[in-house]
Amino acid sequence: MNSTFPYAERYGVNRTLPDEGRARDDVLRELREIASEEDSFWETGKISGTMYCGDHDHYAFLNDVFGLFAHVNVLQRDMCPSATRFEGEIIAMTLDLLHAEAVADGTPAGLVTSGGTGSILHALLAYRDRARQERGIERPNVVKPETAHPAFEKACLLFGIESRTVPVDPVSTVVVPEVVADHVDADTVAIIGSACNYGYGTIDPIPELSELAVERGVGLHVDGCLGGWILPFGQELGYDVPVFDFRLPGVTSISADTHKYGYAFKGTSVVAFRDKAWRQAQYFMIPDWSGGKYLSPGIDGSRSGGLLASTWASLVTLGREGYLRHAEAIFRTAAAMQDAVRAHPELRIMGSPTFCFSFTSDAFSIYHVADSMRTRGWRFNGQQYPDAIHMAVTRPQTQEGVVEAFATDLDEAVRYAHEHRDDAPISGAIYGGVPGGMTPEADQFIRSIMVDLLDTQQSVPD
């Protein structure tokens, strides 16, 4: 599994289009082998995040639905009014979850995008373009916590928005509203908060950011890509989840990934706006193109009907009861895993997390813990500044025995970390140092490794 090209020898490599097509049976057999081997990697429940659902029956059902509309292009609505049903209802159900009924000063609306990054891109595009149209802002900026997802930086880069990144409180790991306020000026189109952030699973003080947004007349995007489809249920279950949605008057948009805790296939997310004026600001149309009148609701052109249909089917077959039930198991598992971490005084949980948590150590390199856990099949996401490892609890972790294995393996890992305190950890190789403290040479070096990695991932073996 570690090799980049584990299948080259086993199945050969296509360097050109095969002259003759292969038999479908043969291809299916080969792909079934690969898929079942790769699934076994995460089915253990020892992998952080990524497989939010993990239920093969649910996947099989979604695949049936996907197949019915996979070939449909939802751009051509005269041929597929079903896409309007799916898309409109996905948005309506998301708006309902995020308490859009509380909005009295606008008409809430949403957009189905290709994922969390897509939702963040469209939100920032909407802020930029509406601010240009209504406030004449030509040099827009956004203010975001350092913990905000890299997609915000990507959006700023693509759309020519100045990104103003502010540090978070090192203990709570959340942004300090006064610090955000100091960076807001007449050209600020929006401020950003996460509910919750990916790194630490902590929730920025959205009520205070909302007040600030109202006071200064700027937008507030709440990044609920990770939390949007689970935190509302955690709140309902009585967990400590502050209000972060449209019930707050300053919240003008929220991203919520259906392809994470919505348990849909990868490829969909919703960006919800407080008022449809934001959605309209980023509509794209060319009424006088020679190829015909062209319009699209966002950046994408053709999209598969299969994604809309299967996302819709995930929401309606699980229903509130299903989401609540899964959230209950996930929150309970996350709390038990955090208890296992807290049982070790050498380990320290970052801030007050929820279903996703991160921990570090002041006694030894936390990467020693990751190294030891890795030999027992655990896969965490490595973090830096400070070094930490994170676990986003998903449904595979809620299986019986996983929490117990976590606690036992963690005991062993802490012992290992003490023993190897003076050695360099294996998995921490590219981390370390202080933020912004990387030399230009080190930065260049790491970038060149990253370029090579991306090049390799899109190549055939030599």
Q: How many other C-beta atoms can be found within 10 angstroms of the C-beta atom of residue 276?
A: 13
| DSSP sequence for 177-219 | HHHHHHH--TTEEEEEEESS-TTT-----HHHHHHHHHHHT-E
121 binds ligand PLP (CB under 6 A): no
Instruction: Please identify, using beta-carbon distances, which residue of 199 and 428 lies nearer to ligand PLP.
Output: 199
Instruction: Please identify, using beta-carbon distances, which residue of 143 and 151 lies nearer to ligand PLP.
Output: 151
Location of structure tokens 């969390």: 116
Close Cβ partners of 204 (under 8 Å, ≥ 6 residues apart): 145, 147, 174, 175, 193, 194, 195, 197
Nearest alpha carbon to residue 274 among 195, 205, 201, 213:
213
Smallest separation (angstroms) from ligand PLP to the CB of 197: 6
Report the distance separating Cα 73 and Cα 330, nearest Å: 36
Smallest separation (angstroms) from ligand PLP to the CB of 269: 6
Name which position in 116, 140, 205, 428 contacts ligand PLP (CB under 6 A): 116
Report the distance separating Cα 201 and Cα 191, nearest Å: 19
Name which position in 48, 117, 268, 398 contacts ligand PLP (CB under 6 A): 117
Are 161 and 140 in contact, with CB atoms under 8 Å apart?
A: yes
Evaluate the CA torsion angle 392, 203, 89, 110 in order and state its sign.
negative
Smallest separation (angstroms) from ligand PLP to the CB of 134: 27
Instruction: Please identify, using beta-carbon distances, which residue of 66 and 200 lies nearer to ligand PLP.
Output: 200
Instruction: Please identify, using beta-carbon distances, which residue of 141 and 258 lies nearer to ligand PLP.
Output: 258
Smallest separation (angstroms) from ligand PLP to the CB of 233: 17
Smallest separation (angstroms) from ligand PLP to the CB of 149: 3
Site for ligand PLP in 224-243 (CB under 6 A): 225-226
Going from the C-alpha of 5 to that of each of 11, 51, 296, 310, the distances in angstroms are 11, 22, 38, 31
Report the distance separating Cα 150 and Cα 356, nearest Å: 18
Smallest separation (angstroms) from ligand PLP to the CB of 392: 8
Instruction: Please identify, using beta-carbon distances, which residue of 259 and 274 lies nearer to ligand PLP.
Output: 259
Instruction: Please identify, using beta-carbon distances, which residue of 266 and 320 lies nearer to ligand PLP.
Output: 266
CA angle 22, 28, 30 (to 5 degrees): 90
Report the distance separating Cα 252 and Cα 100, nearest Å: 10
173 binds ligand PLP (CB under 6 A): no
Instruction: Please identify, using beta-carbon distances, which residue of 265 and 364 lies nearer to ligand PLP.
Output: 265
Candidates 112-120, 162-170, 180-188, 289-297; binding stretch for ligand PLP (CB under 6 A): 112-120
One character per residue 187-226, x = contact with ligand PLP (rule: CB under 6 A): -------x--xx------------------------x-xx
Site for ligand PLP in 67-86 (CB under 6 A): none
Q: Give me the amino acid identity at 434.
A: V
Our CA dihedral for 50, 324, 172, 165, rounded to 10 degrees, sits at 60
Name which position in 54, 115, 228, 232 contacts ligand PLP (CB under 6 A): 115
**# residues near ligand PLP by CB under 6 A:** 12
Location of structure tokens 């082998």: 33
Q: How many other C-beta atoms can be found within 10 angstroms of the C-beta atom of residue 391?
A: 28
Instruction: Please identify, using beta-carbon distances, which residue of 117 and 360 lies nearer to ligand PLP.
Output: 117
Instruction: Please identify, using beta-carbon distances, which residue of 130 and 149 lies nearer to ligand PLP.
Output: 149
Instruction: Please identify, using beta-carbon distances, which residue of 143 and 410 lies nearer to ligand PLP.
Output: 143
Nearest position to ligand PLP, beta carbon: 116
Instruction: Please identify, using beta-carbon distances, which residue of 189 and 226 lies nearer to ligand PLP.
Output: 226
One character per residue 125-154, x = contact with ligand PLP (rule: CB under 6 A): ------------------------x-x---
Instruction: Please identify, using beta-carbon distances, which residue of 429 and 453 lies nearer to ligand PLP.
Output: 453
Packing angle of the helix pair 116-135, 150-159 (nearest 10 deg): 40
Q: Considering only the C-alpha atoms of the chain, give the largest distance between any 2 of them, rounded to a whole number of Å.
A: 71
Smallest separation (angstroms) from ligand PLP to the CB of 198: 4
Smallest separation (angstroms) from ligand PLP to the CB of 138: 28
Q: Give me the amino acid identity at 66.
A: F
| Omega prior to 196 cis, within 30 of 0 | yes
Phi/psi at 18 (nearest 5 deg)?
-60, 145
Site for ligand PLP in 403-462 (CB under 6 A): none
Close Cβ partners of 458 (under 8 Å, ≥ 6 residues apart): none
257 binds ligand PLP (CB under 6 A): yes
Candidates 67-75, 109-117, 131-139, 162-170; binding stretch for ligand PLP (CB under 6 A): 109-117
The residues that touch ligand PLP, with contacts defined as CB under 6 A, are 115-117, 149, 151, 194, 197-198, 223, 225-226, 257
